[in-house]
């Protein structure tokens, strides 16, 4: 038994905490502290500590499964048969209905290499525009607002180490005490250093309990709250006029929009008293430096882009962006939510965070891929729109690393659409609720069994290292794409475009990203191993290679020159802090965007008088497909619940633990009551980790933000009633 300690990173959230792995008998590993990684400094949450439980062959897939035509059940099969069935199913749809009748759905947990290869496979081999991923449900609104204001989206434009050294942090719709516990220390240290923490959340969460000030707005009113704060900043003469004049554009329009949101009006909308609004402005503006950090609360709304934009406007008006220890940032949720959208599995993007509609971007990437730029399809549907089209416009689906039957809004409808497909193939570690509906399921490697890169919420590119071999019968996603390309692609050896070695894929990704907004060309595996991660953008030294477009899809263009640094060129150090000199816009100035409060897509009425909001609990993760298979985590969080205020409980006659039915216009979910004063009386909360009758996303509203196409997960109208048998 190999006893080598392998330094690597946790498979769960976007902190990507460092950990050490040591193989132990039974084909799994032991997790131990890795104090040298600066983000978590050895600390791990329960999910990270128990991550090796998923390596146990008893809880994961170890053989391909195919749908038996005789019994309709999933039965074990060989890899050759399973891959042949997938190729036949996808090709049958492509031939009969056209390339766009084939959909591809990825995941924010895929490594950069796998996300890159999946996007390339969809566009080069399948020729489909219909590809998106579950990261659309994560921080797409923050990404859209960041691009609109700053010209560039990176979750945090500064490292987490800056947080304890600023003067004030407004944390909007984020509960890191439960979603990423090792990050809570940064806010604890902030307060120990004399700084102030303000938490904005309809619930008094574990994080809110640590705050100096807790604002509990009505769900879906974060936009009005931010505008009301900006109104007060202007009225009290707290704007940074020199900064506005020298580093921004669009202030007068944004100022006028904010002035329409006077404090008493904002109090009526949000429920936050005017004195607390004034105190928030004082605490935010008095220190020399301050930050606003958002998460899913304000982002998962049908006005999420404008909501984040309003908080960015607050930062710009007070000179709190692009300065040391100040700025706006987004706390990305999924493990590779940042890198997952940078390199091509998002409907409208090419590798390097290039826009699919940009002719120069198409030429560059097509040259790396050896295809005609004109052969690349245009942008496709966003995630929910893609799922909604299953069984109609999209007849077959290849899905990697996602469980939309549990995680998508209006989940019962999505499940119905999945069931209506002509053909579904799923690659996953476990038999998720979505995989259980597939025609073919492929068991693939997971974090400790494969090498690859991820990009953390800081924009730090990291190297996950393989610590042990996969069980017999399990293969990697890169090998799956290689084999499918061999069966489906054009040309004599299309599979050669899809190497199985992750470092070889990363070298190609470097070339494809070179010169793009998310430029990884100056990063290598060796450098990642030596430097404990590198912040993008990190261009290769010197002028990049001139890339010529390929003459046609069947004729490969000459391979672009390698991007490794010449010996006489200095290596780029990476970019831990963005925007200190200029923003990523054409003129280097940040853009104010005028926004105004508007109602939720669905407001309470006589039939549905209560607001539902959703979120996570500390012991479970995302759709729960993996964490619900870990005994220790299930013991801590065994099932769903409905959190409600005592006044609401009294009104409906509910006691602690009673089964409650929560009903929206889309369906009904049942879970036990958890009565607490930590939530507003007009609001109920449900965690979204479970399938079955307690599936919270049965209730949620798929109304989409017009810019980001983010569904309104965080607020919908419901009624709550007892469900005693």
256-315 pLDDT, tens digit per residue, is: 999 999 999 999 999 999 999 999 999 999 999 999 999 999 999 999 999 999 999 999
Predicted pLDDT at 25: 86
Q: What pLDDT score was predicted for residue 646?
A: 98
Separation between Cα atoms, residue 279 and residue 725, nearest integer Å = 49
Q: How far is CA 569 from the centre of its chain?
A: 36
Q: What percent of the chain has pLDDT over 90?
A: 91
Cα distance between residue 105 and residue 175, in whole Å: 28
Query: What 3-state DSSP class applies to 284?
Result: helix
Mean pLDDT (whole number) for 578-607: 97
* Lowest model confidence (mean pLDDT) among 2-6, 138-142, 441-445, 453-457: 2-6
Q: How many residues does the chain have?
A: 725
User: What is the C-alpha to C-alpha distance for residues 617 and 640, in angstroms, rounded to an integer?
Assistant: 10
Give CB contacts under 8 A, 24+ apart, made by 184-192. Answer: 184/210, 185/41, 185/43, 186/160, 186/161, 187/163, 189/163, 189/164, 190/163, 190/164, 190/166, 192/164
Res. 139 pLDDT band, cuts 50 70 90 = confident
Q: Is 409 left (phi over 0), alpha (psi -120 to 50) or beta?
A: beta
Q: State the pLDDT at residue 550.
A: 29
Extended beta strands in 11-84, E state: 18-24, 28-32, 65-67, 74-76
| Higher pLDDT pick, 186 / 569 | 186
Secondary element (H or E) of residue 257: helix 251-259
492 or 189, higher pLDDT: 189
Q: What span, in angstroms and rounded, lies between the C-alpha atoms of 66 and 562?
A: 42
Cβ–Cβ under 8 Å, residues 222 and 307: yes
Which DSSP state fits 610? E
Orientation of helix 274-285 relative to helix 222-235, angle to 10°: 70
For the cut 80, the answer to whether the pLDDT of residue 594 exceeds it is yes
3 pLDDT tier (thresholds 50, 70, 90): low
Q: Regarding predicted confidence, which is higher, 21 or 564?
A: 21
* Cα 246 to Cα 330: distance, rounded to the nearest angstrom: 25
C-beta separation of 229 from 277 below 8 A: yes
Q: What's the CA gap between 76 and 86, in Å, rounded?
A: 15
Instruction: For residue 464, name the pLDDT band (cuts at 50, 70, 90).
Output: very high
Instruction: Identify the sign of the CA torsion 28, 30, 36, 37.
Output: positive
Contact predicate 401/427, CB 8 Å: yes
Rounded to an integer, what distance in angstroms lies between the CA atom of residue 665 and that of residue 680?
Answer: 22
C-alpha span between 581 and 667 (Å, rounded): 51
Concatenated DSSP letters of 313-361: HHHHHTT-SSSTT-EEEE---STTHHHHHHTT-STTEETTTEETT-HHH
pLDDT of residue 568: 40
More reliable by pLDDT, 364 or 340 = 364
pLDDT at 27: 80
Rounded to whole angstroms, the Cα distance separating 396 from 644 reads 41
- Radius of gyration (Cα) for the chain, nearest Å? 25
Q: How far apart are CA 669 and CA 697, in angstroms?
A: 9
Give the burial string for 175-194 (b: 16+ CB within 10 Å, else e): bbbbbbbbbbbbbeebeeee
Q: How far apart are CA 589 and CA 368, in angstroms?
A: 32
On the 0-12 / 13-18 / 19+ scale of CB atoms within 10 A, 256 is: exposed
For 531, the 3-state DSSP assignment is helix
Strand partners, 355: 349
pLDDT the model gives residue 531:
92
Beta-carbon contacts of 666 under 8 Å, excluding residues fewer than 6 positions away, are 410, 412, 413, 698, 699, 700, 701
- Tell me the CA distances in angstroms from 258 to 123, 303, 664, one per residue in order: 43, 16, 33
Interhelix angle for 79-97 vs 477-488, to 10°? 50
Q: What mean pLDDT, rounded, does the chain reach? A: 94
Q: According to DSSP H, which parts of 29-126 are helical?
A: 46-49, 79-97, 112-120
pLDDT above 90: residue 558: no
- Look at residue 641 and tell me whether its pLDDT is greater than 50: yes
Q: What is the mean pLDDT of residues 494-521?
A: 94
Q: Quickly tell me which residue has 């290849």 as its tokens.
A: 398
- Residue 553 is predicted with a pLDDT of 28
Supply the pLDDT for residue 563. 37
What structural domains and CATH numbers belong to the chain? 65-137+336-535 (3.40.50.740), 141-331 (3.40.228.10), 610-722 (2.40.40.20)
Pairing of β 168-172 and β 291-294: parallel
What's the rounded mean pLDDT across residues 17-31? 92
- Is beta strand 423-428 parallel, antiparallel or unpaired with respect to 440-443? parallel
Rounded to whole angstroms, the Cα distance separating 687 from 697 reads 9
Give every CB contact of residue 531 below 8 A, 6+ residues apart in sequence.
Answer: none
- The mean pLDDT value for 210-228 works out to 98
- DSSP-derived pairing of the beta strands 716-722 and 659-664: antiparallel
Whether residue 336 is predicted with pLDDT greater than 80 in this model: the reply is yes
Q: Place 144 in a pLDDT band, splitting at 50, 70 and 90.
A: very high
Strands annotated E in 401-479 = 423-428, 440-443, 452-455, 460-464
Q: What is the pLDDT of residue 560?
A: 36
3-class secondary structure, 385: helix
What gap in Å lies between CA 425 and CA 407, rounded to an integer? Answer: 18
DSSP letter for each residue of 122-173? IIIII--S-EEEGGGGTSHHHHHHHHHHHS---S-SS-GGGGGGSSEEEEES
Q: Is the pLDDT of residue 569 over 70?
A: no
How would residue 495 be classed by pLDDT, with cut points 50, 70 and 90? low
Report how far residue 366's alpha carbon sits from residue 374's, in angstroms, rounded to the nearest whole number. 9
Q: How far apart are CA 275 and CA 259, in angstroms?
A: 18
CA nearest 552: which of 377, 360, 371? Answer: 371
Give yes or no for residue 542 having a pLDDT over 90. Answer: no
Under the phi-then-psi rule, with left for phi > 0, alpha for psi from -120 to 50, and beta for the rest, what region is 237?
left
Encode pLDDT of 57-94 as tens digits. Answer: 999 999 999 999 999 999 999 999 999 999 999 999 99
Cα angle: 220, vertex 221, 227; to 5 degrees: 145
Which helix (H) or strand (E) is 102 found in, with range? strand 102-106
How many helices (H) and strands (E) would you count in the chain? 23, 30
Q: Shortest CA distance to 107 belongs to which of 426, 518, 385, 537?
A: 426
Q: What is the pLDDT of residue 551?
A: 25
Distance CA 650, CA 460 (A): 49
Three-state DSSP class for residue 479 = helix
Q: Which of 149, 314, 316, 305 is nearest to 228 (CA)?
A: 314
CB-facing half-sphere around the CA of 130: CA atoms within 13 A: 23
- Report the candidate in 110, 152, 159 with the shortest Cα–Cα distance to residue 516: 152
3-state secondary structure of 627: helix
């Amino acid at each position: 038994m190999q006893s080598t300690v392998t330094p690597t990173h946790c498979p769960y959230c976007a902190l990507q905490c460092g950990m050490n792995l040591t193989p132990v008998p039974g084909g799994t590993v032991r997790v131990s502290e890795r104090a040298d990684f600066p983000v978590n400094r050895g600390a791990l949450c329960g999910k990270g500590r128990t991550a090796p439980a998923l390596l146990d062959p008893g809880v994961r897939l170890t053989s391909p499964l195919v749908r038996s035509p005789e019994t309709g059940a999933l039965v074990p099969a060989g890899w050759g048969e399973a891959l042949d069935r997938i190729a036949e199913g996808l090709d049958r749809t492509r031939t009969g209905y056209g390339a766009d009748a084939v959909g591809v759905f990825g995941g924010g947990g895929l490594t950069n290499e796998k996300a890159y290869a999946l996007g390339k496979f969809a566009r080069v081999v399948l020729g489909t525009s219909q590809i998106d991923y579950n990261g659309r449900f994560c921080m797409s609104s923050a990404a859209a607002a960041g691009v609109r204001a700053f010209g560039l989206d990176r979750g945090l434009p500064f490292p987490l180490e800056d947080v304890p050294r600023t003067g004030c942090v407004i944390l909007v719709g984020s509960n890191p005490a439960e979603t990423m516990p090792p990050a809570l220390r940064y806010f604890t240290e902030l307060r120990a250093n004399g700084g102030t923490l303000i938490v904005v959340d309809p619930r008094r969460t574990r994080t809110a309990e640590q705050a100096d000030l807790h604002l509990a707005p009505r769900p879906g009113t974060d936009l009005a709250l931010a505008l009301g704060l900006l109104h007060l900043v202007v009225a009290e003469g707290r704007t940074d006029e020199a900064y506005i004049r020298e580093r921004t554009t669009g202030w007068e329009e944004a100022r006028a929009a904010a002035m329409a949101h006077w404090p008493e009006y904002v109090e009526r909308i949000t429920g936050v008293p005017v004195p607390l609004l004034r105190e928030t402005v004082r605490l935010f503006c008095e220190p020399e430096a301050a930050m606003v950090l958002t998460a899913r609360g304000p982002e998962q709304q049908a006005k999420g882009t404008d909501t984040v934009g309003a908080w960015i406007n607050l930062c710009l008006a007070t000179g709190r962006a692009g300065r040391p220890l100040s700025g706006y940032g987004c706390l990305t949720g999924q493990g590779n939510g940042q890198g997952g959208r940078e390199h091509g599995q998002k409907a409208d993007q090419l590798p390097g965070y290039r826009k699919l509609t940009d002719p120069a971007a198409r030429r560059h990437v097509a040259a790396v891929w050896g295809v005609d730029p004109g052969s690349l399809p245009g942008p496709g549907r966003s995630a929910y729109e893609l799922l909604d089209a299953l069984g109609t416009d999209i007849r077959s689906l290849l899905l990697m690393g996602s469980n939309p039957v549990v995680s998508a809004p209006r989940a019962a409808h999505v499940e119905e659409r999945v069931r209506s497909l002509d053909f579904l193939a799923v690659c996953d570690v476990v038999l998720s609720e979505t995989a259980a509906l597939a025609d073919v399921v492929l068991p693939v490697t997971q974090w400790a069994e494969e090498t690859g890169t991820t990009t953390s919420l800081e924009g730090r590119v990291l190297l996950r290292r393989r610590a042990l071999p996969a069980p017999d019968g399990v293969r990697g996603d890169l090998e799956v794409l290689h084999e499918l390309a061999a069966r489906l692609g054009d040309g004599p050896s299309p599979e050669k475009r899809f190497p199985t070695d992750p470092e070889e894929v990363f070298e190609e990704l470097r070339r494809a990203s070179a010169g793009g907004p998310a430029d990884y060309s100056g990063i290598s595996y060796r450098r990642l191993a030596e430097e404990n991660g590198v912040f993008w953008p990190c261009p290769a030294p010197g002028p990049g290679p001139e890339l010529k477009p390929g003459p046609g899809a069947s004729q490969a263009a000459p391979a672009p020159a390698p991007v490794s640094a010449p010996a006489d060129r200095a290596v780029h150090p990476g970019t831990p802090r963005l925007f200190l000199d200029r923003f990523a816009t054409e003129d280097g100035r940040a853009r104010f965007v005028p926004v105004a409060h508007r109602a939720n897509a669905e407001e309470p009425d006589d039939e549905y008088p209560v607001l539902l909001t959703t979120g996570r609990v500390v012991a479970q993760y995302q759709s729960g497909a993996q964490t619900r298979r870990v005994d220790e985590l299930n013991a801590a969080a065994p099932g769903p619940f409905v959190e409600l205020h005592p006044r609401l409980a009294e009104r409906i006659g509910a006691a602690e633990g009673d089964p409650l039915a929560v009903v929206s216009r889309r369906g009904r979910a049942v879970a036990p009551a958890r009565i607490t004063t930590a939530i507003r009386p007009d609001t109920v909360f449900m965690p979204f980790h479970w399938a079955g009758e307690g599936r919270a996303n049965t209730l949620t509203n798929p109304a989409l933000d017009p810019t980001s196409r983010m569904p309104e997960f965080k607020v919908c109208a419901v009624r709550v009633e007892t469900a005693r048998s």
